Structure 1
């Protein structure tokens, strides 16, 4: 079954795409949690980080390098930014297509709330 991200990559669903190459696509989150909130996704459907295989090493690295590039382009690299990948239900994953969140543009506070 095709994910919503695959449909965005294929151009079937509109999105504000800020970067695309043969391995990854990046677009602005429709429900941003920070002034800059970009999702960077592999063009290949990979459900979770647990499903990454050795042949996905290049795409996994590309996710990070594209995040670095976009942080600089967005003007958030110097002050800092957060990169997040959620995995499965307890990790908060909602779309089962690996994706890296690039968040910044303001102080983001602690990673997790203490309980």
Structure 2
């Protein structure tokens, strides 16, 4: 096993024993569709090196992930005309909701009407704190 992979890590295993899930990759990162999607085509962009979260990435890995985010956004927007927008997010640490201990970036396609009140987007990760309009 490479020093960059860890036994039992779900995302390290994708690279070795579950490669059929990979929809796109480059030298430093890969893309899979989320196994528990919050919307259709919800994708995960994952560095190949086993690293805990975004703050442990090298500059080269950040750039590799950036390229895959753009590539998948372009592909999905052409593939599915119902997509009107995207959320991009990461959970860094248990308190922030991280549950897989290998960095991954969520690319979540959004569609008009998929939620009653989308304004504020990721600000709603903490209930009742995202609606800044009520504070004016």
Does the TM-score normalized on the shorter chain lie above 0.5? yes
Contact 1:35/1:106 (8 A) holds in 2: no
State the TM-score, normalizing by the size of structure 1.
0.84
RMSD: 2.1
C-alpha offsets along residues 34-67 of structure 1, whole Å, 9 cap, x if unaligned? Answer: 1121111000000123433xxx111112112211
1:44 to 49, 67, 77: 49
Q: How does 1:14-33 map to 2 (within 5 A)?
A: 15-33=20-38
Instruction: Using the TM superposition, give the Cα deviation of residue 14 of structure 1 relative to its aligned residue in structure 2, in angstroms.
Output: 5.4
State how many pairs are aligned.
111
Structure holding more helix per residue: 2
SS at match of 1:36: coil
1:34 to 35, 39, 47: 39
State the TM-score, normalizing by the size of structure 2.
0.72
Structure 1, unpaired ranges of 5+: none
Instruction: Using the TM superposition, give the Cα deviation of residue 15 of structure 1 relative to its aligned residue in structure 2, in angstroms.
Output: 4.6
